């Protein structure tokens, strides 16, 4: 009996020490990537190549989902606001929810599953096929040559993707409420502009998406670099990237929102 | 893929992103109406500001002429000190009346400015002397009940 209790306590301790060690390892890897970024900034071509794969190829999913999210927001917002006779506020509702929350968060979630998983799988497979060790043999630093450009490309493309998501969402909301349902166009835009503040809403939304970009790509490159060099290991790492970065996005979002929007109307 | 086509796509991507940010700030946000030009500050003391908040609009004749930038509690006069930023091209006379009003029955509160007739204009940092507090519903109901009770008393006499 006593033995069983002791072994279960030992199990908890083992788990905690393990995860703490992994967190420390991940943070050290993150700092290493930052320290080795100077190469990728000097050879900007590497970053541009990765921008194509992470940014440009994510455009379709981001734009289409933004459009549909905006359309749904417009439809649902109209249905509810119309009960209170204030359907002209639907523009403000759509724009505020997109710019403050949905734009950065949903774009980051899509980005994590579209680009983050691809980054992890690519780096993990490079490790499994010993391409990274081969680079090391040729005195090419794999962190500077492979990891840092992917990291920076993700960080750069995330705010742009989030902004495009919000713009498409606002357009979708406009399409549904003004064009299809027939809300007055003038009040749609003027309510929106009266309620969305540049400093508080838009700049904070962009700051949020920058944080999410760093979190998603840092997790993706770490999981790829840390993946066990087997087919199973790479697939597990890819899954972990999507799960961990989604949780990180939502958790970070709560913390950032609490700091940014507390006490503002 | 060829390096040049990739460059083209990435260039397009970055331009689209910057364009989206511009649309967000100008068309969706209020950067266009942010008063890129000059503005000046006015101060007003209010006995009770009700639910007035920072960033609430300052209107005159229904037109937004500025915004509330700061609300403080004064320990000298025990009332609220409200700072308003007014667009530079809107000038108001010294005897302007500032009152806290409500948009609609349950709408947000804003400051209404009623221009007076004096020649001298308010300058940066000036204090609006004539102010009118927010109407607090409880006080109004209380006053109404008190008046009714008084009326019943006089009727009985």
With cut-offs at 50, 70 and 90, classify the pLDDT of residue A156: very high
Select from B39, B114, B110, B60 the least CA-distant residue to A194: B110
pLDDT band at B104 (very low <50, low <70, confident <90, very high): low
Q: CB B17 to CB A163 under 8 A?
A: yes
The DSSP annotation for A28-44 comes to HHHHHHHHTHHHHHHSH
Residue A154 in this model has a pLDDT that exceeds 90: yes
Q: A19-42, pLDDT tens digit by residue? A: 999 999 999 999 999 998 888 788
pLDDT at B34: 54
Q: What is the rounded average pLDDT for all residues in chain A?
A: 90
CB contact under 8 A, A164 and B17: yes
Report CB contact under 8 Å: A99, B24.
yes
Q: Where are the domains of chain B?
A: 1-34, 35-136
Position B33 scores a pLDDT of 56
> What letter does residue B123 receive in the DSSP assignment?
-
**Could you tell me the two tokens for B73?**
């509690």
Strand-pair partners of B126: B42
Task: State the smallest CA–CA distance between residue B49 and chain A in angstroms.
Answer: 15
Q: How confident is the model at residue B49 (pLDDT cuts 50, 70, 90)?
A: confident
Residue B138 vs residue B141, higher pLDDT = B141
pLDDT value at A145 more than 60:
yes
Portion of chain B with pLDDT greater than 70, in percent: 91
Put simply, the answer to whether B25 touches A159 (Cβ < 8 Å) is no
- Decide if pLDDT at A97 tops 70: yes
| DSSP state letters, B17-45 | HHHHHHHIIIIISSGGGS--S-EEEEEEE
CB atoms within 10 A of CB B91: 14
What percentage of chain A exceeds 90 in pLDDT? 68
Mean pLDDT, rounded, for A138-152: 90
Q: Is the pLDDT of residue A263 over 70?
A: no
Contact A202 B25 (CB under 8 A): yes
Of the pLDDT bands very low, low, confident and very high (cuts 50, 70, 90), residue B52 is: confident
Does A169 score more than 80 pLDDT?
Answer: yes
A212 pLDDT exceeds 80? yes
Q: How far apart are CA B78 and CA B91, in angstroms?
A: 29
pTM of structure: 0.76
Q: How far apart are CA B135 and CA A151, in angstroms?
A: 56
Which of A114-118, B34-38, B112-116 is predicted most confidently?
Answer: A114-118
The whole-number average pLDDT for the span A190-213 is: 88
By three-state DSSP, how is residue B128 classified? Answer: strand
CA dihedral A208, A96, B13, A64 (to 10 degrees): 120
Lowest mean pLDDT among A38-47, A131-140, A152-161: A38-47
Confidence at residue B106, expressed as pLDDT on a 0 to 100 scale: 60
Q: Average of pLDDT values for A108-123?
A: 94
Ranking A121-130, B27-36, B40-49 by mean pLDDT, the lowest is B27-36
Q: Between A216 and A198, where is the model more confident?
A: A216
Pairing of strands B109-114, B97-102: antiparallel
- Is residue A264 scored above 60 in pLDDT? no
Answer whether B9 sits within 8 Å of A56, measured CB to CB. yes
pLDDT at B70 over 90: no
Cβ-Cβ contacts under 8 Å for B13 (sequence gap 6 or more) = A51, A52, A55, A56, A59, A157, A160
Distance CA A218, CA A31 (A): 10
What per-residue confidence (pLDDT) applies to B123? 84
B125/chain A closest Cα distance in angstroms: 24
Gap between the Cα atoms of A90 and A102, Å rounded? 16
Helix or strand holding residue A249 (H, E): helix A231-260
Lowest mean pLDDT among A159-163, A214-218, A260-264: A260-264
Is residue A207 predicted with pLDDT exceeding 60?
yes
For residue B6, the chain A residues in CB contact (below 8 A) are 48-49, 52
Higher pLDDT among residues A62 and B30, named by residue: A62
Inform me whether the pLDDT recorded for A223 exceeds 60.
Answer: yes
Q: Is the pLDDT of residue B2 over 80?
A: no
Residue A144, burial from CB neighbour count under 10 angstroms (0-12, 13-18, 19+):
buried
Query: Rounded CA gap, A187 and A185, in Å?
Result: 6
Nearest by CB to A160, which of B17, B30, B33?
B17
Determine the average pLDDT of the residues in A3-31.
93
A198 — pLDDT class (breaks 50, 70, 90): confident
**Which residues are within 8 A (CB) of A70 and not within 5 positions of it... i.e. 6 or more apart?**
A94, A98, A168, A169, A170, A171, A172, A173, A174, A175, A176
Show the tokens assigned to B86. 């007014």
- The shortest C-alpha distance from A199 to chain B (Å) reads 9
Give the model's pLDDT for residue A233: 92
Mean pLDDT, to the nearest integer, of B4-18?
88
What are the CA-CA distances from residue B23 to residues A179, B30, B60, B99 (Å)? 20, 11, 29, 35
DSSP symbols for A72-108? HHHHHHHHHHHHTT-GGGHHHHHHHHIIIIIHHHHHH
């Amino acid at each position: 009996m006593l033995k069983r209790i002791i072994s279960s306590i030992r199990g908890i301790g083992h788990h905690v020490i393990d995860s703490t060690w992994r967190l420390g390892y991940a943070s050290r890897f993150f700092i290493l990537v930052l320290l080795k970024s100077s190469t990728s900034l000097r050879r900007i071509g590497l970053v541009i190549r990765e921008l194509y794969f992470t940014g440009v190829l994510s455009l379709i999913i981001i734009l289409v989902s933004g459009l549909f999210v905006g359309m749904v927001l417009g439809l649902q917002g109209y249905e509810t606001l119309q009960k209170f006779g204030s359907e002209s506020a639907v523009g403000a509702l759509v724009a505020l929810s997109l710019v403050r929350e949905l734009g950065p968060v949903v774009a980051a979630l899509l980005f994590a599953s579209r680009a983050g998983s691809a980054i992890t799988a690519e780096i993990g497979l490079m490790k499994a096929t010993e391409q990274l060790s081969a680079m090391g043999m040729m005195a090419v630093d794999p962190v500077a040559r492979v990891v840092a450009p992917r990291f920076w490309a993700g960080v750069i493309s995330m705010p742009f993707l989030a902004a495009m998501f919000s713009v498409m969402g606002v357009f979708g909301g406009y399409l549904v409420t003004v064009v299809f349902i027939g809300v007055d166009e003038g009040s749609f835009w003027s309510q929106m502009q009266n309620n969305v503040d540049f400093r508080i809403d838009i700049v904070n939304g962009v700051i949020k998406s920058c944080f999410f970009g760093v979190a998603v790509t840092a997790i993706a490159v770490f999981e790829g670099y840390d993946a066990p060099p087997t087919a199973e290991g790479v697939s597990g790492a890819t899954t972990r990237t999507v799960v961990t970065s989604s949780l990180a996005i939502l958790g970070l979002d709560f913390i950032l929102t609490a700091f940014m929007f507390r006490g503002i109307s | 893929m060829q390096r040049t086509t990739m460059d083209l796509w990435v260039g397009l991507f970055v331009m689209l992103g910057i364009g989206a940010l511009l649309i967000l700030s100008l068309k969706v946000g209020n950067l266009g109406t942010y008063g890129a030009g000059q503005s000046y500050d006015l101060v007003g003391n209010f006995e009770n500001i009700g639910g007035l908040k920072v960033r609430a609009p300052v209107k005159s004749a229904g037109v937004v002429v500025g915004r509330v930038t700061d609300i403080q509690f004064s320990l000298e006069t025990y009332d609220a000190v409200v700072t308003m930023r007014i667009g530079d091209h809107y000038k108001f006379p010294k005897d302007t009346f500032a009152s806290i009003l409500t948009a609609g029955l349950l709408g947000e509160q804003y400051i209404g400015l009623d221009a007076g007739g004096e020649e001298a204009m308010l300058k940066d940092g000036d204090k609006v002397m004539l102010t009118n507090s927010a109407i607090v519903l409880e006080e109004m109901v209380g006053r109404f009940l008190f008046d009714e009770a008084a009326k019943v008393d006089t009727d009985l006499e």
